[in-house]
Amino acid sequence: MTVSHILWYYLWLAPKVLQVILLCGMVRRGLHRQFPMFFVYTALQVVQSGVLLVISRSHFGFGEEYFRAYSAATAVSAAVRFGIIHELFSHFFRQYPALVGPGRLLLRGATIALLLVAVGVAVSAPGNSADFLLNVTYALDRIASILQSGLLISLFVFSRYFVLSWRNQVFGIALGLGIFASIELAMSAMRLYGLVSGTVFDFVIMGTYHCCVLIWMFYLALPERVTPHTLNPLPEHNLDIWNRELQRLLQR
Amino acid sequence: MIITTILVLVALLVLSCLLWLARAHASAAKALENPAEHIRAVDIEAFRNLVDPDEEEFLRTNLPPVEFRRIQRERLRAAVEYISCAAHNAAILVRLADAGRRSSDPATAEAAQKLVDNALRLRLYALHAIPRLYLGMILPGSRISPVRIAESYEQMTRLVVLLGCLQYPTRGVSAAL
């Protein structure tokens, strides 16, 4: 077994071991009830990897059966990641009832716009693999990456404009997903035109996923941030303005 | 190949945004320490005057068209400045009231929630109003009346005072801020 083989297996399996720890941590802290989709996604990743590992070690090896299972797993993972994004949106806007309407509008508008872009990109892209199933899988994966990174960036920009506070856990999940989606987008685009080999693609994607699992572990382990009350230290001249304004209102 | 380049650039842009946001998230608590230095004064009466349709009509009928367009552009530029200041103050108040929402006192928590909602609404109005005001600068004839900003700002002012009174009942209205 060469070093690259060992590294490849490490990058494949180590994140899954960490995800098992993550699942246990989530159950212990009751986070699986707050983030059910993320919990399902994490569990699914562990199960999928187990199944793929068994197939690869069986007499099928990395043959057609393996790639069928891999394609199905990729499609299911991408679908569940959309569920997580929806979960993040609802988590976020539940705290701010005034933004439920604009938030819903943003989610719908961004999804439609990004879907049009993603489908356009997928249709105009050439297929470099002789296997139809793999071509479709990669095309769908690219569409999913464009949609997911776009939706997450929209959520980040929206929250930035409205100065909304993120809970550590929600921020961590969104950050990990966003990083994974953006790297996957760049790599799949480069792979499409043969700029990177399949091996480099696998290493980068698996390495990124490893980092994302560490990000999720870090943020989910963090305690909830308590924002200090600082309503009283404004300078006097501002108080005068506000008090004058109040008196004028009261005199109406 | 062009599509690949665009996708890679977009992905890198998204990635840098995410890393920047992660840094901003880590330092978010520090930014709240000195809100006083960032509050900007807003004269609501002057703002109302700037966006008053009657005032605009008066100027339109009494000034030559060229002069009216010039003055109207100046007025709208000033209105944009006022709205930006109000939206900026609203952003600070969202951060301040966010902490109050978790207060153990139900009245304080309710007032803080109302203040957050109001400040968010004001920022939403600002998001609608500023592009319309810029459009008004390009087309000085079009009618724009962002009076909801002034109303929302006044309501926000009242809520800040109420929240201050609830949090510091012995220190009077000035304790609001």
Same domain for B23 and B56? no
Same domain for B92 and B151? yes
Q: Looking at residue B143, what is its pLDDT?
A: 64
Q: Looking at residue A228, what is its pLDDT?
A: 52
Highest-confidence range of A44-48, A98-102, A162-166, B81-85, by mean pLDDT?
A: A44-48
Better-predicted residue by pLDDT, B5 or A235: B5
Three-state secondary structure along chain B?
Answer: CHHHHHHHHHHHHHHHHHHHHHHHHHCHHHHCCCHHHHCCCCCHHHHHHHCCHHHHHHHHHHCCHHHHHHHHHHHHHHHHHHHHHHHHHHHHHHHHHHHHCCCCCHHHHHHHHHHHHHHHHHHHHHHHHHHHHHHHHHCCCCCCCCHHHHHHHHHHHHHHHHHHHHHCCCCCHHHHC
Provide ipTM, 2 decimals: 0.74
Residue A74 has pLDDT above 80, yes or no: yes
What is this structure's pTM? 0.76
Same domain for B25 and B109? no
pLDDT tens digit sequence for B108-152: 888 888 888 888 888 888 888 888 888 888 876 666 666 666 677
Query: And the tokens for B112?
Result: 């803080």
| Single-letter amino acid, residue B47 | F
Better-predicted residue by pLDDT, A227 or A161: A161
Same domain for B69 and B87? yes
Same domain for B14 and B38? no
Counted domains in chain B: 2
Same domain for B61 and B142? yes
CB atoms inside a 10 Å sphere around CB A113 = 13
Better-predicted residue by pLDDT, A72 or A127: A72
Query: And the tokens for B150?
Result: 């002034």
Same domain for B81 and B13? no
Three-state secondary structure along A20-61?
Answer: HHHHHHHHHHCHHHHCHHHHHHHHHHHHHHHHHHHHHHCCCC
User: Any chain B CB within 8 A of the CB of A231?
Assistant: yes
Query: And the tokens for B53?
Result: 């349709």
Residue A224 has pLDDT above 90, yes or no: no
Q: Domain of B16?
A: 1-31
Inspect the interface and report whether the beta carbons of A192 and B120 lie closer than 8 Å: no
Same domain for B75 and B134? yes
| Segments in chain B below pLDDT 70 | 28-37, 140-150, 159-177
Same domain for B4 and B40? no
Interface of A with B in 105-124 (CB under 8 A): 121, 124
The dotted CATH code for A3-222 is: 1.20.1070
Q: Using the structure block, give the residue that is written with the tokens 């920022």.
A: B123
Half-sphere exposure of A215 (CA within 13 A, CB side): 20
| Single-letter amino acid, residue A251 | Q
Residues of B whose CB is below 8 A from A246: 157-158, 161, 173
Calpha distance A76→A122 (Å, rounded): 19
Residues of B whose CB is below 8 A from A228: 29, 32-33, 99
Same domain for B17 and B51? no
